[in-house]
Structure 1
């Protein structure tokens, strides 16, 4: 008989690798009912996953933060769903700030009397970001008191603006030497507190000194001031005064433009001396955006922001009669601020309107009106 043909054994099967399924989310054991047993139906699938935000389940609350915007419109806590529902303007609150410049409350410049503690309270209440540094107050604090005051500033998101240069460099040599003697202690108090900017203005005329002699006197005296300030970590800002009605009011005109201020700063010859730039003086000196672009951010120690009355030519403007920023539109505040911002300016910006109606207001009304005007101007920064 023929032998039966045996069928060859099939080759061993090679297991086909399979892509492992993502493990389902851990399901916490409930107090109601037993845990799932082997062989029971699969648990419900995990909810769909959004490619950007993950599972479509309520997210945990975001941690508290301090809004970066100039208006505190963002809630202290919110979920992702609530965050996406916020309007676009609120989105600005968590974006990087558009400028390094700060809105500076200089209470005396708007006719409001305030000591250092009152200024801090006013700034916090009305939405300012910087305050004047008062060397007299700061020098009277011991180390613990100063530490507490600076900590309170930090907690309220307030930084230092500028301090005044309390040296009489404009009159007699005797007055200059006498007031210069107290300046090192004032600068030391500022340094202890972390304030780094000291500012003053330059009179645009003289009855006694011709331009060149006046330039040399100012350079010599301000050089001494600047060296003392620099020894204590402070920069010095100088403001030129632009209105023709002022610089032409005495026998000898003096520094009243950006170009002339550059000459004075060069004559002083100290690297940490720069400008206090005022939109009012920039306007009354018939200067342009191109003049602003000739500066660097380091050149700008402080900024003043003002508008001008309508109905007068540039040469007719009177220094003691100004307007709040954006009040009339005579001065292009937007071009002024945006140019400084493009330079990377990080200076404090205050308002100094010398405005009679503003000075007649109650303190809180004047503070609110000025804060509103400044924030409106800062909203123009692109």
Structure 2
């Protein structure tokens, strides 16, 4: 596994060349691709040249966002799916092989079973388009009870459930996005993660949690930088990821607005140090 920089996940922003420079300067081994920037370069050769420049800095390209909303109204979903090959052409030219999205863990109208059928159908369609381009799809489950209990029908919010969902699609190019915060709020164990294989995991996020809330009171959008409070057993989580043989990107996504108020180099030096301390 390797330390990956995702400025957006940190609530920071910069153009892609700047992000690459920052990643290299602060000892990251990867950086998330900026699909909009790459698409704006115009043609496949220019995109490939930009990706080569990233590699020359000793960096890998991480995971792109899936530009398809799995829960969108039918017409919107169909239109987004039809536009997906255009995004994949950009990713292919850059050598990016993974995209990710999250599974919304509740619904006001659809029962668990009806929502399951909808997700299996739509994930299967998306996965088929991605497979044709040699791209994997990562699905992130969302663990906090304060989130999945806010609508009438709770949905997938644990590792076991998302693995069953993936299995029902029958797609061989769909895996899990693991986040230590969701792992913690779903009350999961090191063994749960260790039971996975590298092929089951598309991406990993490391976060800590506030120490002034009970497990079922944790809020999805209020986290801490890894190793800040010790509320989450990051050593146990990482041990499970390592036992699974995972080789991909690891990033930080703390949803802390305060990070954008600090000098960017200070923030990234701290994040890099925390990531390397956890995974090296």
TM-score by length of 2: 0.96
- Check the 8 A contact 2:141/2:182 in 1, yes or no: yes
SS at match of 1:182: helix
How is 1:68-147 mapped onto 2 (pairs within 5 angstroms)? Answer: 101-141=1-41, 142-147=43-48
Name 1:150's counterpart in structure 2: 51
CA deviation digits over 1:70-100, x for unaligned, max 9?
A: xxxxxxxxxxxxxxxxxxxxxxxxxxxxxxx
Shift of 1:121: 1.2
User: Is 2:39 the partner of 1:163?
Assistant: no
Name 2:108's counterpart in structure 1: 207
Bigger shift: residues 152-161 or 271-280:
152-161
- Check the 8 A contact 1:110/1:358 in 2, yes or no: yes
- Check the 8 A contact 1:110/1:366 in 2, yes or no: no
TM-score by length of 1: 0.71
User: Is 2:256 the partner of 1:355?
Assistant: yes
Instruction: Pick from 166, 172, 176 the counterpart of residue 77 of structure 2.
Output: 176
Q: Provide the alpha-carbon RMSD of the alignment.
A: 1.3
Shift of 1:248: 0.6
Shift of 1:189: 1.1
Q: Unpaired segments of 5 or more residues in structure 2?
A: none
- Check the 8 A contact 1:139/1:189 in 2, yes or no: yes
Runs of 4+ in 1 over 6 A off after TM superposition: none
CA deviation digits over 1:162-204, x for unaligned, max 9?
A: 0000112212101101111111110121111111010001111
Bigger shift: residues 167-176 or 157-166:
167-176
- Check the 8 A contact 1:308/1:322 in 2, yes or no: yes
Shift of 1:243: 0.4
Larger Rg: 1
The one of the two structures with greater contact order (alpha-carbon pairs below 8 A, sep at least 6) is 2
- Check the 8 A contact 1:325/1:374 in 2, yes or no: yes
User: Aligned partners of 1:143, 1:263: CA distance in 2, in Å?
Assistant: 37
CA deviation digits over 1:312-346, x for unaligned, max 9?
A: 21111111110001111111111211221122101
Instruction: Pick from 196, 200, 205 the counterpart of residue 295 of structure 1.
Output: 196
User: Is 2:185 the partner of 1:314?
Assistant: no
State the aligned residue count: 279
Shift of 1:296: 1.1
User: Aligned partners of 1:143, 1:178: CA distance in 2, in Å?
Assistant: 24
User: Aligned partners of 1:108, 1:352: CA distance in 2, in Å?
Assistant: 8
- Check the 8 A contact 1:136/1:186 in 2, yes or no: no
